[in-house]
Structure 1
Amino acid sequence: MLAAVSPTMNVSVETESRSTTVDVTDRIAAAVPDYLESGTCTAFVQHTTAGLVVQEDEPRLRGDLESFLGDLVPDEGHAHDELDGNADAHLRAALLGPDVTIPIVDGELALGTWQSVLLVECDGPRTRTVTVTTVGDADRH
């Protein structure tokens, strides 16, 4: 095995509403180089009003997640709203975090049976950029 760092890859994600989730698992998996046998994959959303989570990609649960964030953070009444009216989106994204790290085993993302990587949009619709970096051991063949 040889240590390998793959080139960083950017994935573009279009969102269609202010609050939504988009399954980006396949796009992140496609960024894992074929020669990488084991290691880690980190995906990072380059925005302060969106986040990434590992969660089940089931429509009702995705709706529950959006409702949960709305219940935790009210839409209005924040100081930052005086600037651009999206403080709620920043606060919701802060709860989620901008990144996830997933093990790579046998060249594949080692996600559990029901796990997917979801981009959670808090201030759309927008075009979001997810940066994917992998580090690990490359097969010599």
Structure 2
Amino acid sequence: MDFDVTTDERLTTVDVTDQVEAAIPEDCEEGMCTAFVQHTTAALVVQENEPRLRGDLESFLSGLVPDEGHAHDELDGNADSHLRATLLGPSAAVPIADGELALGRWQSIFLVECDGPRTRQVSVTVTS
């Protein structure tokens, strides 16, 4: 199953936990769910859904990778977005237990947009 996520800022986080969980077939009690963002300037992470922490993540990425000064910027001006997404990775894998994502109490799945605003496609695969 695939779903789209539309972002409205250059660097932001979007909680996609519900969309990922909705992809689990009703007859799947146990297995593994993998979500994969099909873009090189976005990422998926498992993290706590707390607004200040989400802001801290965005600030951390901005501070870690400067917006400008990269060779790829001569092509299309978004090297920082590629580098930030590389640090985080394009996928998140979560076990399925009792037909639901077996996330910890404070865990959620986030799309991290590094080059928005854009519409991103996330692909979800379930194995049981």
**In structure 1, what residue type is equivalent to 2:52?**
R
Distance 1:42 1:120 in 2: 16
Distance 1:28 1:117 in 2: 8
**2:4 equivalent among 6, 12, 18:** 12
SS of structure 1 residue aligned to 2:29: strand
Match of 1:6 in 2: none
Report how far residue 132 of structure 1 moved.
0.1
Match of 2:89 in 1: 97
SS of structure 1 residue aligned to 2:30: strand
Does 2:86 correspond to 1:78? no
Match of 1:37 in 2: 29
Report how far residue 26 of structure 1 moved.
0.2
Report how far residue 44 of structure 1 moved.
0.1
Unaligned segments of structure 2, at least 5 residues: none
Distance 2:42 2:56 in 1: 17
Unaligned segments of structure 1, at least 5 residues: 1-8, 137-141
Does 2:34 correspond to 1:68? no
**In structure 2, what residue type is equivalent to 1:73?**
V
**In structure 2, what residue type is equivalent to 1:60?**
R
Distance 1:90 1:27 in 2: 24
**In structure 2, what residue type is equivalent to 1:30?**
A
**In structure 1, what residue type is equivalent to 2:16?**
V
Distance 2:73 2:43 in 1: 20
Aligned-residue Cα RMSD (Å) equals 0.3
Match of 1:121 in 2: 113
Match of 1:4 in 2: none
Report how far residue 123 of structure 1 moved.
0.2
**1:47 equivalent among 39, 44, 61:** 39
SS of structure 2 residue aligned to 1:70: helix
Distance 1:112 1:77 in 2: 39
SS of structure 1 residue aligned to 2:111: strand
Report how far residue 88 of structure 1 moved.
0.1
Q: Which has the larger radius of gyration?
A: 1
**In structure 2, what residue type is equivalent to 1:81?**
D
TM-score, scaled to structure 2: 0.99
Distance 2:74 2:109 in 1: 33
Once the two structures are superposed, residues 50-76 of structure 1 have per-residue CA deviations (whole angstroms, 9 ceiling, x without a partner) of 000000011100000000001110000
